[in-house]
Amino acid sequence: IEKPNILFIAIDDLRPELGAYGSEVAITPNMDALAAEGLLFNNAYCQEAICSPSRASVMTGARPETINVIENFSYFRDLNPDIVTLPQHLQTAGYETVYAGKIFHPGYTDEELSWSRKAYSGPKVEEMPERVRGYVLAENQEIFRKNRAEVIAKYGENAPRNGLGKGPAYEFADAPDNSYEDGHNTELAIETMKEMAQNDKPFFLGLGFLKPHLEWIAPKKYWDMYEDVDLQLTDQHEGPVNGAAMGLHASFELRARADIPNYGDIEEEQAKNLKRAYLATVSYVDAQIGKMLKALEEEGLRDNTIIMLWSDHGWHLGDMGIWGKATNYEIATRVPLIVSTPNMPDAVRGSKTNALVELVDMYPTLCELAGVSIPESVEGQSFKPLLTNPN
């Protein structure tokens, strides 16, 4: 039996603000089209609403406390030297595993064990713009450099304050898609996929998008898409009545940005711009996903490729008075999850399921779909049955 390829699309900080999830403002035709061909999960939840714990949990199939990763400063491999990650496990079943962009938390990417090869690095990549990490506009690069230098001078290079000393919260330069990192990484992933298509081995290709994580930076055309869109802000400006005081925070992540006030209210006009910037980067990511899926189709691989699209957690866009993630509330823990498999029944394609699932369930699900055993360390539950019986 020919093993299916796996395209594993990770998106950073994307709440279920997509057309397919009922958003009336988000412009996401490519993810909506994927949902129309697959199964959309209405009730998918992350295990912790912050990057490293959520991703370490996804990739090891274990809950954050099981692997002792509950913040962004612990490397799961240091603490769990023998744990087998999803791509590592697939390698033993004959898969070629490779990633472009952000799958694991940066710096904790398990290069030696999880990945069987590097992403494409052939001549075409050299024609791409030099990899840009961050702002395209010189003035914003300068603001970032200056603020960062001040922080380092004051606190030292290794101080646990890497969230401080930031540039502006958003930038939309008149530049091509690959001037920003997600566009570049998509091209890298496409070239890698074409290369792997020539091999006999099935592949696990991780394509990880850095947006819509702050800073919200993308080509101007995506900002312009929301020119005439009436963006409504949330009407829920306070935390829950009688809620836990320790359950809320002061929007630290956003307030670290150069153009955001350190304290006090975010003005309505600025809030609308922030929401527009968030959505614009969602549309930017959506466009890159469209390119990836088109390339998969053109390469003739779509019919034998499982596509799993997910986000590491949600995001408060002013909801409960918070800008950011890092809470236990619905808005931070509910995530988009869309799955398309080659042999999904036509009756299931384009449908939605209300079944509860957790991101930790993705690991065993992919194992089952690939016909691979599930390691004992995995704590999730395969939701493969839902792919044929979503009700």
Partner 1 sequence: MEWKTAAFTQFPSPALREWAANPLSKGMRETSFGPLLEEVEDRIKKQQGDKWNRDLFENRLMGYSMRTSQYRFTVWKDYTDTKAKPIFFELYDHQSDPKETVNIANDNPNLVAQLL
Active site residue 184: no
Active site residue 249: no
> Nearer Cβ to partner 1, position 64 or 219?
64
Contact assessment for residue 234 and residue 25, using Cβ atoms and an 8 Å cutoff: no
> Nearer Cβ to partner 1, position 40 or 301?
40
Q: Which residues pair with 351 in a beta bridge?
A: 39
Nearest distance from C-beta of residue 309 to partner 1, angstroms? 18
What whole-number distance in Å separates Cα of residue 61 and Cα of residue 69? Answer: 13
> Nearer Cβ to partner 1, position 122 or 155?
155
Nearest distance from C-beta of residue 229 to partner 1, angstroms? 22
Contact assessment for residue 277 and residue 349, using Cβ atoms and an 8 Å cutoff: no
What whole-number distance in Å separates Cα of residue 171 and Cα of residue 219? Answer: 8
Question: Which residues contribute to the site for partner 1 (CB under 8 A)?
Answer: 43-51, 63-65, 70-74, 155, 159-164, 236, 240-250, 252-253, 255-256, 262-263, 319, 326-330, 333, 354-358, 381, 385, 389
Nearest distance from C-beta of residue 327 to partner 1, angstroms? 6
> Nearer Cβ to partner 1, position 4 or 64?
64
> Nearer Cβ to partner 1, position 187 or 319?
319
Contact assessment for residue 355 and residue 43, using Cβ atoms and an 8 Å cutoff: yes
Nearest distance from C-beta of residue 282 to partner 1, angstroms? 21
Q: Is 181 helix (H, G, I), strand (E, B) or coil?
A: helix
List the one residue out of 309, 342, 294 whose CA is nearest residue 190. 294
51, 184, 213, 367: the active-site residue: 51
89, 105, 213, 316: the active-site residue: 105
For 56-137, list the strands marked E by DSSP: 96-101
Nearest distance from C-beta of residue 379 to partner 1, angstroms? 10
Pairing of strands 39-45, 323-324: unpaired
Tokens representing residue 249 in the block: 């925070």
> What is the sign, positive or negative, of the torsion defined by CA atoms of 214, 186, 20, 344?
negative
What whole-number distance in Å separates Cα of residue 201 and Cα of residue 5? Answer: 9
Catalytic residues: 51, 105
